[in-house]
Amino acid sequence: MFFGKKLSKKPIINRYFVSGMLISMSISGMSVGVNAQEILTLNDAISLTLQQHPELHVFTHKSEAAKALITQAEVGTPKVVNAQLEDFLGSGNNSGVSGLQATLSISWLLENDIIESRVNLASSKADATTIDQEVKAVDIAANTARLYITLLAQKENLKLAKIAEDQAKDLLDNVEGRVKAAKANAIDELRARASLSLYELEVEDLVHEIAATKSALAAQWKGTTNFSVTGTLTNIPSISELDEVLKRLKENPKIQRYILQQQEIESEIDLAVVEESPAWEVSTGIRRNEVIDDFAFVAGISIPIGGEGRNKGLITSLRAKQSQSAAESDALLQSISTDALLLTHKLKHSLHVIQKLSNSSIPMLEQANEQASRAYNIGSYSYTDLFAVQKELLNAQKSLIDAYTNIQLFNIELERLTGTSVSKNERAL
């Protein structure tokens, strides 16, 4: 449960605010029954997302298209010519077919460099598609994790809001009794009723927020909201783990995508260099000698003169594009390094907040709440002061939930910056 032990029924006012409230702050699934909901862990949610998210299905078709382009790049003109001429000649002239095969071998050698360059370019584009898929997968997984953590936090806040609502009801009962006994002013009763209505409204708002977040989470894998999340927000990374994260920033798939982009441009440059020189052309044909009523195979090679350097402008442009990609890669690395450093500072600050709230602020406010409750019951403390103490304790407990939630969200963002797939981490949520 969110809160541990319960105090005795009287005095009622402070029975819900006890120490160590987040030591076992966990969310349990529904008990097994006929209408029991499925209990979903964070890894379950991310796994379903990566399998079913519609944006990732697009890459399946892109990958197939990229593989087809590699196959197409491997096809050279000689294979096509060979099929056409052999079908035309049949097997009537063995020497002619032999000469054809020799000529096609020459043609294949002439085109081999071009074919190899085209295959390399197609392969680079296929690798880029794989990286693009990984980039998208990391972003989508991180978004799923954020929704999951948000849902955990909302459910913890709902538990706290319901406890505050119950406390407000108990306080109203107490105030009504004191008003009837002429020990308190009727104004206190009106204020207590207004306070209860506000807590009831907060509970209703959180119920709606939870429903909305569950719908957004289920939409990640096009599922239903018939599930319950389970986990705790109190698992936090150590300082050494943060240092390790900073060392892995270059593993970000967006950085890797720039590296592949530069390799792809290099393949384009290689192809442009190979195609820069005019290609030799092999011509083949069949000639009929009507005098002797026979056929002869003829072949020739055309060697173009001039035309060198025709791709010079293209090559220069590709080199500039390659340099631009390298500069963008450096800028991106600098940007994510800055973001990661800022996140680690925020994480450390949240750790400090948790320590202060858990070890100092909340324990002292709990003591103040207990003493204020006893003082109010004997008529030596005003309703206004008691309400203020309870509100301060409630706000501190909310801040503690927020601090734990922020740590989880900051950690998810760090994982996204390093390109770590959140589903690969064995989170103890």
Residue 284 belongs to a domain: no
Confidence band, pLDDT 50/70/90 cuts, at residue 303:
low
Lowest-confidence region among 11-15, 75-79, 295-299: 11-15
> What does the mean pLDDT of the chain come to?
74
What is the count of structural domains for the chain?
Answer: 1
Confidence band, pLDDT 50/70/90 cuts, at residue 279:
low
Domain coverage including residue 260: 26-91+117-276+323-424
Question: How far is 364 from 358, CA to CA, in rounded Å?
Answer: 10
The domain spanning residue 147 has which CATH number? 1.20.1600.10
Confidence band, pLDDT 50/70/90 cuts, at residue 103:
very low
CA atoms within 13 A on the CB side of 252: 25
Lookup result for tokens 């990661």: 340
Which pair of tokens denotes residue 153? 């936090």
The pLDDT tens digits of the residues spanning 326-369 come to 898 888 888 888 888 888 889 989 999 999 999 999 999 999 99
Residue 7 belongs to a domain: no
Highest mean pLDDT among 108-112, 159-163, 270-274: 159-163
- 40 sits in which H/E element: strand 38-40
Question: How far is 366 from 4, CA to CA, in rounded Å?
Answer: 14
Residue 109 belongs to a domain: no
- Asked if residue 88 has pLDDT above 70, the reply is no
- 222 sits in which H/E element: none
Question: How far is 403 from 381, CA to CA, in rounded Å?
Answer: 32
Residue 111 belongs to a domain: no
Residue 171 belongs to a domain: yes
Report cis status (omega within 30 of 0) of the bond before 363: no
Residue 106 belongs to a domain: no
Question: How far is 413 from 143, CA to CA, in rounded Å?
Answer: 9
Residue 226 belongs to a domain: yes
Lowest-confidence region among 21-35, 306-320, 392-406: 21-35
Residue 81 belongs to a domain: yes
Amino acid at 117: S
